[in-house]
Amino acid sequence: MDRLRGHWQMLALAALVFALWQTPVALPLKLLVVLFHELSHGLAAVATGGSIESLTVTADQGGLAVTRGGSRFAVLTAGYLGSLLLGLAVFATALRSTADRVVLGVLGGVLLIVAALYIREGFALLFCLAAGGAMLAGAWFLPRLAADLALRVIGLASMIYVPYDIVSDTILRAGMQSDARMLAEEIGGATLLWGGLWLVVSLGVIGASLRAFSRTESNLA
């Protein structure tokens, strides 16, 4: 009971995100997680000796990262798991740091740099500029607790979206073109195998992270 009291705000926020997940209110968060997904592909390419050619997201929550070189295994695997790690990093920063406005500003600045360097399509460019600008404005004008709340929402959205998207794209619709299907075609194995492995890993990472977060109080203060 004491542990629940120490985390009731986080639990309420998670419940609110779940409740609004299928409504238009959550669309900007979903698009942001899709952008994290595509950026993770690109970062994996760069980390393994390749480069990013372009990134995009679409209004129907689709996305595409065009990369050159690097490890295809790392690039294809990084989409779901990399975006999950980015979301967890944002969430952990909100829980463990008081530099929320700085972190929100850095995240906004990164989105603006990504927009300038890698995004060319109209909707994706508009979204990335708007999201980055909103984060920079929040970092400048919001009080720390409000910036902390914004980071928690972004982190929770990523934690919710990644396993949901893995199930939807690689298990329930295994025949569609997806990271898992491309990995199966290029590396071997089956789409369901890679999707299932990513799902197990993502749920394990989320579970371990939540256990770690629960050791100290997470209510806003």
168-217 pLDDT, tens digit per residue, is: 888 887 677 889 899 999 989 898 999 999 999 999 999 898 888 777 77
pLDDT at 86: 92
Q: Which of 158, 195, 197, 214 is nearest to 4 (CA)?
A: 214
Helical axes 179-186 vs 72-96, angle rounded to 10°: 140
**Residue 57: inside a domain, yes or no?**
yes
- The tokens for 194 are 């890679």
Look at strands 51-57 and 63-68 and give their pairing.
antiparallel
Q: Which residues of the chain have pLDDT under 70?
A: 1-7, 174, 218-221
Compute the distance between CA of residue 204 and CA of residue 187 in angstroms, rounded to an integer. Answer: 24
Q: Are the C-beta atoms of residues 75 and 43 closer than 8 Å to each other?
A: no
Count of domains in the chain?
1
**Residue 221: inside a domain, yes or no?**
no
Compute the distance between CA of residue 89 and CA of residue 212 in angstroms, rounded to an integer. Answer: 13
**Residue 125: inside a domain, yes or no?**
yes
The pTM of this model reads 0.91
pLDDT at 140: 94
pLDDT at 196: 92
Task: Look up the domain containing 143 and give its range.
Answer: 2-213
pLDDT at 5: 59
